[in-house]
Structure 1
Amino acid sequence: MLKAIFLDMDETLCGTSEADQLAGQAFACWVKETYPELVNEQRFIERYLAGVYKQLNSEFPQLVALLPDEGAFRTGLIRALLAEQGVDVDSDEACAAQAYFDDQRMAAFTFFPGVAELLRTLRERYKLVVITNGPTFSQYPKLAAVKMPDWVDHIIVGGDEPEEKPAASIFQKALDLVGAFPEEVLHIGDSLSSDIAGANRMGIKSVWVDASGEGIAGSDIVPTYTVRSAAELPLILADFQ
């Protein structure tokens, strides 16, 4: 019998990339207005978003040491990217820029259509646990933006844990919280390497959100089920009746 459902947040329940893009557009305008000497605000925001997702670490090894403090890392990133275009700002100015982006991002961060109703319905029958990777700096504001504690029973943030998904320890913590065995749980997420691989190794049935519909593209990580969005989850749950 199915007792609990584990859920990823970013790109599974919530449109994180869409919020990033909307915030990025506003941020690009703000930066250009604030620093008119900036040559290319679009290049700045594209590289900023890449840097936030740690895709520029090899270019800025001096910032890697700041990673234990995500706020310091991001303000350092802003200073470095502005300096690329000849704009020198101090720490306070970088903090103000980061705060503007954060405010815009949280204003745009929300559930995908139908997810709130889905969670309300699921919680009538199952224990719900959100397991989200990422630093506390960014994950807790997102959780607050959608009032996640009102919708689920437990929340586990990877940045609080010794290991993030796909580590067995974070899934085991979720199992312990709901008092369930792996065969009594379903996990849904958009990442094959983090969500699906982690659930599969634990013997938890996995549901992959393949929003693009492109399939696993040769990956050896095979989900138990595949959907285009979390809103399709009730179709799968019919198998457990």
Structure 2
Amino acid sequence: METPGNKRVEAISFDLDNTLVRYERSPGDVLQATFDKHGFEPIFSVEQYYARYDEFAETCDSMNELRSECFAALASENGHESQLGRDIAKAFSNERDQSNVELLSAADRILETLSREYRLAIVTNGAQDAQQQKISAVNLERWIETVVIAGHDTPPKPSPGPFRRVTRSLNAAPATTVHVGDSLETDIAGATAAGLDSVWISEDAPTREFDPTYRVDSLGDLYPSPWSREPEK
């Protein structure tokens, strides 16, 4: 019988943003720079943008379209003309460089090590053009076999759809695939719904609502892998 300490794993999928890569300038910094540089009133917060991102990612074909529609809606909801939101979105796009990302600490070491033993994939929400630019900017193709950008061909995480697609693409069973991510609400919930074990990267304790199979403090703690360690007694 398999136990958490000797589980057979053949494939690993990873979330992208804040799991493998991060912007060298955060979206909050870029939004504030956009307001400051162009003299715009700060009519919405980056937290409001985050809250609506996945909603617009489902219906928009590009990052520029996503941002334009999202910012227009936020402007209108905050009592301004929707065109002002579109103007801010255009200025934000000029300020933001999607390729201006970097690998998180230990990512190259961990991916290089794990790729020798497992088939690796990415499952990420977002606009296809933006996510692909990030992947290419840090050459994740060195280690990653399959990328699923959820929100177009499949519903976004936490739907089980993108996780099922990645296991089919890797020719791996859900029971022998593990998903790694930093979000309980999207990564852990979606992986669990698709029948995958999960690794939550966080120094916090999980909530009762979401129950990751494993928890590690940082990406660097993925090796030795938690599913191969002897269970604590």
Aligned to 1:221: 210
User: Structure 2 vs 1, CA of residues 85 and 71 (structure 1 numbering), >3 Å: closer, same or farther?
Assistant: same
**Overall identity of the aligned pairs, in %:** 24
Runs of 4+ in 1 over 6 A off after TM superposition: 82-86, 88-91
Matched position secondary structure for 1:15 = strand
Aligned to 2:3: none
Q: CA RMSD in A?
A: 3.5
Contact 2:13–2:120 (CA<8 Å) still a contact in 1? yes
**With structure 2 as the length reference, what TM-score do the two structures score?**
0.76
Matched position secondary structure for 1:110 = strand
- The correspondence of residues 1-241 of structure 1 with structure 2, limited to 5 A, is 1-16=8-23, 19-31=26-38, 35=39, 38=40, 40=41, 43-44=42-43, 47=44, 49-55=46-52, 67-69=59-61, 70-75=63-68, 81=75, 96-103=90-97, 106-107=99-100, 109-210=101-202, 213-217=203-207, 219-237=208-226, 239=228
Per-residue Cα deviation, 1:3-30 (whole angstroms, up to 9, x for no partner): 1111111121122596324434543443
Q: CA offset at residue 71 of structure 1?
A: 2.2
Q: CA offset at residue 158 of structure 1?
A: 0.4
Q: CA offset at residue 111 of structure 1?
A: 1.4
Distance in 1 between the 2:179 and 2:85 partners?
A: 44
Matched position secondary structure for 2:147 = strand
Distance in 1 between the 2:37 and 2:198 partners?
A: 42
Distance in 1 between the 2:213 and 2:10 partners?
A: 17
Q: CA offset at residue 220 of structure 1?
A: 2.1
Matched position secondary structure for 2:224 = helix
**With structure 1 as the length reference, what TM-score do the two structures score?**
0.73
Distance in 1 between the 2:118 and 2:186 partners?
A: 23
Q: Larger deviation: 220-229 or 143-152? A: 143-152
Amino acid at match of 2:198: S
Per-residue Cα deviation, 1:112-149 (whole angstroms, up to 9, x for no partner): 11101211111111110100012224322222322222
User: Structure 2 vs 1, CA of residues 166 and 9 (structure 1 numbering), >3 Å: closer, same or farther?
Assistant: same
Which residues of structure 2 form unaligned runs of 5+? 1-7
Distance in 2 between the 1:227 and 1:187 partners?
A: 13
Whichever structure has more helix as a proportion of its residues is 1
Contact 1:134–1:157 (CA<8 Å) still a contact in 2? yes
Corresponding pairs, count: 218
Distance in 2 between the 1:9 and 1:205 partners?
A: 18
User: Structure 2 vs 1, CA of residues 49 and 17 (structure 1 numbering), >3 Å: closer, same or farther?
Assistant: farther
Amino acid at match of 1:226: R
User: Structure 2 vs 1, CA of residues 161 and 94 (structure 1 numbering), >3 Å: closer, same or farther?
Assistant: same
Structure with bigger RCO (C-alpha 8 Å, 6+ apart)? 2
Q: CA offset at residue 153 of structure 1?
A: 0.9
User: Structure 2 vs 1, CA of residues 169 and 76 (structure 1 numbering), >3 Å: closer, same or farther?
Assistant: closer
